[in-house]
Chain A
Amino acid sequence: MKFGIVVNEGPYTHQASDSAYNFVKAALAKGHEVSRVFFYHDGVNVGTRLTIPPQDDRQIQEQWSALAKEHELDLVICIAAAQRRGLLDENEAKRQGKDADNIAEGFRISGLGQLIEMGIEADRTITFGD
């Protein structure tokens, strides 16, 4: 089965991104395909490389980046939601005249069309939210 995943809540405050991560890992282990993970609302905050959680806690962004690398996952951060919340890649930072960027490895910024496209192409779209 081909899954599309939506993550609608930010890391640590909500469990949604943890649950999504565990689901994706389990689905891949069972031989399913995950066509894309789309981060929306505060979910975009999963994709900043500047988080420093306590050492004895899970490192949510690093977990996602590692999983993306291992399975060539497409981790997409919504650009409109990202701009509101201060998530920028190098190109966007340059284009908007900002002095820094913060997107983590394995994530990319793109538009809401990617969410709809994912819904069309996946057999099942699963939302992890509040």
Chain B
Amino acid sequence: MSDDEVKKFLYVNRKAPYGTIYAQESLEVVLIGAAFDQDVAMAFLDDGVFQLTKGQDTKGTGLKNFSPTYRALGDYEVTKLYVEQESLDERGLTLDDLQDIQYEDEDDDYAEKPSIIVVSRDQMASLMAEQDVILSF
């Protein structure tokens, strides 16, 4: 491939934000990866949908609450956060339970737009099939 070819990267997040380190170390990859100017998206499914919930409070656990970082992803040009509808449903969650995450669309006079895109399980499968690189956490 040529040096300037852009690949489609999908970071797949399947685990709850706390309890294991996967979600936090996944975010570290995404933030570093932003410097490489690839076509990046994140997917949230299974317990991974809990990563985006609002009102996370880690006081008393000694763990760092890294959930505000998701709202900063737009500044890193990570603007596509695909959330699987069935995973939300199975956990009694709706879009209202998730943080309001937005990005400024530089192609549209920096209008603020939602980063979260809710997709069905079938759509998620198609999305994965379109990727060049999938990193699963």
Contacts and interface: CB of A to CB of B under 8 A. Distances in A.
Nearest to A114: B32
12 contacts: A80-B28, A112-B28, A112-B29, A112-B33, A116-B32, A116-B38, A117-B36, A119-B9, A119-B133, A120-B7, A120-B38, A129-B136
A41 B21 CA distance: 8
Interface residues of A, number: 19
Contacts of A112: 28-29, 32-33
Interface string B93-137: 000000000000000000000000000000000000000111111
Interface of B: 1, 7, 9, 21-22, 25, 28-29, 32-33, 35-36, 38, 132-137
Contact of A111 (B22, B32, B134): B32
A125 B25 contact: no
Given A112-B28, A116-B38, A129-B136, 7 more contacts: A81-B25, A84-B21, A113-B32, A113-B35, A117-B36, A120-B36, A120-B133
Interface of A: 6, 8, 40-41, 80-81, 84, 111-113, 115-117, 119-121, 125, 127, 129
Contacts of B22: 41
A119 B36 CA distance: 11
Contacts of A116: 9, 29, 32-33, 36, 38
A3 to B, nearest CB: 12
Nearest to A84: B21
Report which residue of B9, B38, B135 has the largest number of chain A beta carbons within 10 angstroms of its beta carbon. B135
B16 to A, nearest CB: 14
A115 B29 contact: yes
A117 B35 CA distance: 11
Contact of A41 (B9, B25, B33): B25
Nearest to A111: B32
A117 B36 CA distance: 8
B48 to A, nearest CB: 13
